[in-house]
Structures are given as structure tokens and as C-alpha cells.
Amino acid sequence: MDMNKENMIKSFVINKLGCNCPDEVFNIIKWQKDVQIDKNIILNYKINIGNRLLIYIIEIEDHNFMNDNLVKIFMFGIGERDNNNFNRFRLAIISNNIAEIYSIAQNILNNLNIGDQKGHLHVIMKKDFIL
């Protein structure tokens, strides 16, 4: 395993996503790059933290792409979380326009109204994403 990459992921998860997982959860860190979950959707990263936390990271700048695919991405992550008995799912969208992207994403997910308290959305400035 690449310890430097694992340390970068741990730092990202704690400092950017606000995860307050116990340290032992970080004993297992697995990641995949460029994961295709649909014919039009490729995640930048899929990360497993301790077989408890599932994280999808995807860069989105295009509103049309988000309108067409955000629900699919989020529901796919929720399904994968549930099928693999993870505790939480976090979707991190990387963008240069975080205020607008966050607003649109929140509206889409609020309209979805799935009431899932263990699925979280994060929108992170592209320059702050260092994996």
C-alpha cells in the first residue's frame, strides 16, 4: 500500500469531509481511481474507510450533467453502502464554483426526499482537493 496516499486520504476525510471516525477505522483505507458506475458516470475516486465509510468523489462543473446524473450517483452510493453494510456514504463533488454547485445539488437531493441520515453531500473547491 502507498502510505503517503493513505495519509493524504485520511487527512482529506478528516479535514475536508469532517469525519470524526475513531483512529482504528483508518487501519483499512482502500481506493480506486476512475470508477465507472454508469455509461455516462465515472467517479474520480471511490474510497473505503474501515469497511464503514464509503466515499464517492466526482468532479462536476456542468449543471446539465448534475441535473441528469446526481440522483443516480447518490442512489448508487446509498445502494452500495447498504449492500456492503457500511455505516455511512459521503458524496464529495469537486468544483470551481462550489456555491452554485452546492445550491443546485441540495435542491436536487432535497426534492429526492429519501430521508437518509447516513448519506451526506459535500462540495469542495477544486484547489482544495489534493488526492
pLDDT confidence of residue 28: 94
Q: Per-residue confidence of the chain (131 residues) as pLDDT tens digits?
A: 577 889 999 999 999 999 888 889 999 999 999 999 999 999 999 999 999 999 999 999 998 999 999 999 999 999 999 999 999 999 999 999 999 999 999 999 888 877 677 889 999 999 988 77
- How big, in percent rounded to 5, are the helix, strand and coil portions of the chain? 45, 30, 25
Return the amino acid letter for 5: K
Q: Which residues contact 5 (CB under 8 A, 6 or more apart)?
A: 31, 131
Q: Which residues contact 67 (CB under 8 A, 6 or more apart)?
A: 104, 108
Question: What is the architecture, at CATH level 2, of domain 3-128?
Answer: 3-Layer(aba) Sandwich (3.40)
Cα atoms in the 13 Å half-sphere on the side-chain side of 97: 9
pLDDT confidence of residue 55: 98
pLDDT confidence of residue 114: 72
Please give the radius of gyration of the chain, using alpha carbons only, rounded to the nearest integer.
14
User: Can you give 24-63 as a three-state secondary structure string?
Assistant: HHHHCEEEEEEEEEECCEEEEEEEEECCCEEEEEEECCCH
Query: Grid coordinates representing 98?
Result: 462550489
pTM: 0.93
Give the separation between CA 101 and CA 94, rounded to whole angstroms: 9
Q: What is the distance, to the nearest Å, from the Cα of residue 78 to the centroid of all Cα atoms in its chain?
A: 11
pLDDT confidence of residue 113: 73
Extents of the domains making up the chain: 3-128
pLDDT confidence of residue 111: 85
